Structure 1
């Protein structure tokens, strides 16, 4: 008889636990650390968020967790964008690997896992784009799709 009493008393807690796990698993997006830039950069990043493509290199845009106008992801975590990041120390290194894609300058940094991180330079907010190793093996073509939105929303200049 005690079995039924324990099942009934444990049921509400078990239901809440399942609901919490279900919400976080079903509603969660791609986990991305949200930068915390100043007010000016935040406003620019929000404008960029609205201009970003829904599809990128055949990958659909997905929600990030936590949800933020400062972050975006395509193809789960194949391509991750964070706007308003701090300036990478390597940006001051004259030997750093840089490239320009359709009028947007990028600092390129290879990661230990074979992925790449590209960060805009000479813009009023730093935009970071991470390619997974698998995505990086396909090339940096998606940077072309970021060029227009970045040029339209993040003016040239030096970020604070």
Structure 2
């Protein structure tokens, strides 16, 4: 896992800045922000995810918090399902894929933004999924295809302080 961080911390910068990301917000919202599957996380990850939910920003990249249904401390959203955050997700298979590690996978790139390591994956529908690396719990941020063509750096930059505060560095569980 350490080789992932050291080899790829500089690579995510350009693709991440070129793509839209999802952000996390402060308090839960009563507004329906679409739907998202609630992760089945272990007890340690659930505790970290609850801490993250408490410190998420109310607004990310100009979008107000609108949490998805069903309501859960493991999920958050901004805009009308434009940005969806899920905490406690499993490690993405691409995170250990040698093609990604060597920079040969055009649909997945690893790097860091404001002290948080990310794996960025382009999906078939044009949306993007960003998953934290080297953290005690995996946090996934999905950005809709409509927003994915825009600069995503404000999303990742907006989420970094909350992630660094609530989810310590370590191996995801």
Partner of residue 73, structure 2: 69
**1:124 maps onto 2:139 in alignment:** no
**TM-score, structure 1 normalization:** 0.80
CA contact (8 A) 2:32 2:80 kept: no
The C-alpha deviation readout for 1:29-68, integer Å capped at 9, x for no partner, is 4211000110000000000011111011111101321100
Partner Cα separation in structure 1 for residue 111 and residue 42 of structure 2: 27
Summarize the alignment of residues 89-100 of structure 1 with structure 2, pairs less than 5 Å apart: 89-96=93-100, 97-100=109-112
**Alignment gaps of 5+ in structure 2:** 1-29, 101-108
Structure number with bigger Rg: 1
Partner Cα separation in structure 2 for residue 70 and residue 124 of structure 1: 15
Partner Cα separation in structure 1 for residue 95 and residue 50 of structure 2: 24
User: Cα distance, 1:27 vs. partner?
Assistant: 7.2
Equivalent in 50, 53, 57 of residue 54 of structure 2: 50
User: Cα distance, 1:94 vs. partner?
Assistant: 3.5
**TM-score, structure 2 normalization:** 0.75
Q: Mark the CA change 1:122 to 1:57 in structure 2 (over 3 Å): closer, same or farther.
A: same
Aligned length: 135
Equivalent in 138, 145, 150 of residue 158 of structure 2: 145
**Alignment gaps of 5+ in structure 1:** 1-25
